[in-house]
Amino acid sequence: MKVVAVNKPAYFNYEILETIEAGIALLGSEVKSIREGRVSLKDSFADVKGSEILLFHLHISPYEAANVFNHEPLRNRKLLLHRREIRRLTGKIKERGLTLIPTKILFNDKGLIKIELGLAKGKKLYEKREAIREREQAREARAALKHGRR
């Protein structure tokens, strides 16, 4: 599997409880643009509308060679999941107050574009500060080990 884009702020702002891989309905110009890596997951989220799950605010840059047949960069895109998966996710979102956040866009073994969704719970400010503190301590420890070996 080849990862095209990763949503790094999602891992900082949310606690990812579970991940689900889903297909995504795209236009031809969107596929070509994703193959070039011109996609941004920042600020995007998924929500249930009726009996389907839609992805909002996923920015896929226009493909230059598509000229008049190009796509709208921020349009809502349908996620392809089985009905029972949609029902299960809908229950978890409504019951526990969780949200669906896209974490990665990748190509699977067959060359299809898949999106990895994380069932996430928002972190509080003190949890974010604690994550920053742990990251800095780990960085300092690595630096101390590196300089200690010389």
Closest-CA residue to 39 (of 122, 96, 85, 102) = 102
Using one digit for the tens of pLDDT, what is the confidence trace for 8-66? 888 888 889 999 999 999 888 888 888 888 898 988 999 888 889 999 999 988 888 87
The arithmetic mean of pLDDT across residues 112-130, rounded, is 90
Identify the structural domains of the chain with CATH numbers, from first to last.
Answer: 2-123 (2.40.280.10)
Q: Is a pLDDT exceeding 70 seen at residue 150? A: no
Structure token digits, residue 72? 């709208």
pTM for this predicted structure: 0.78
Closest-CA residue to 8 (of 53, 43, 50) = 43
What letter does residue 70 receive in the DSSP assignment?
-
Determine the length of the chain: 150
Whole-number Å distance between alpha carbons of 110 and 48: 28
Whole-number Å distance between alpha carbons of 75 and 93: 23
Per DSSP, the three-state class of 99 is strand
